Structure 1
């Protein structure tokens, strides 16, 4: 009997292909957190808007200036940074690249 058509070998090949497809299609999750403060007064900035660029997620800083993102989708084998834009009325926007699992202190500068 031909080894290629042997049911045992055929099943092994199918299982290998299915396993590889599952691994390649897996989607990992990233999380980041940070603190937004006024660059001059060092006081927390509440309700600053924090947006990720790709994929698009949005959060707001709390009364203590704290923000966090959990379950931001990203490829499981990727260690790509998340690009975030922090904005607040009367402040200059700031754009940062944050690595998965990192936390950042963001100092926004007030506009004149």
Structure 2
């Protein structure tokens, strides 16, 4: 009986350790403050790749697990041809990209 209770508690603990980490916002051109479409964003370690929509909006989502006490951090890389690539930890909000120097 105790063995079964221990197994059930362990199972519940393992299930409760999984979840999602998310981030959302808008990517802007730093000099014009206009939204940028088609910006590639890549959540490193989660292997999540998407592009901003026509209004510059992005949404990053990644599953994590493995009995952690809190949501793990992740880095997201934002890139677009002609702009400097930036990497942000746990992006959630507006992002500003600068033009590359010529």
What TM-score do you get using the length of structure 1 for normalisation? 0.77
RMSD: 1.7
Q: Which residue of 2 aligns with 1:78?
A: 70
Q: Which residue of 1 aligns with 2:8?
A: 18
- 1:55 counterpart SS class: coil
Q: Which residue of 2 aligns with 1:29?
A: 20
Q: Distance in 2 between matches of 1:93 and 1:34?
A: 17
Gaps of 5+ in 2: none
Q: Distance in 2 between matches of 1:14 and 1:93?
A: 52
Q: Distance in 1 between matches of 2:23 and 2:81?
A: 23
Q: Which residue of 2 aligns with 1:104?
A: 93
Equivalent residue for 1:59, pick from 32, 45, 50 = 50
What TM-score do you get using the length of structure 2 for normalisation? 0.84
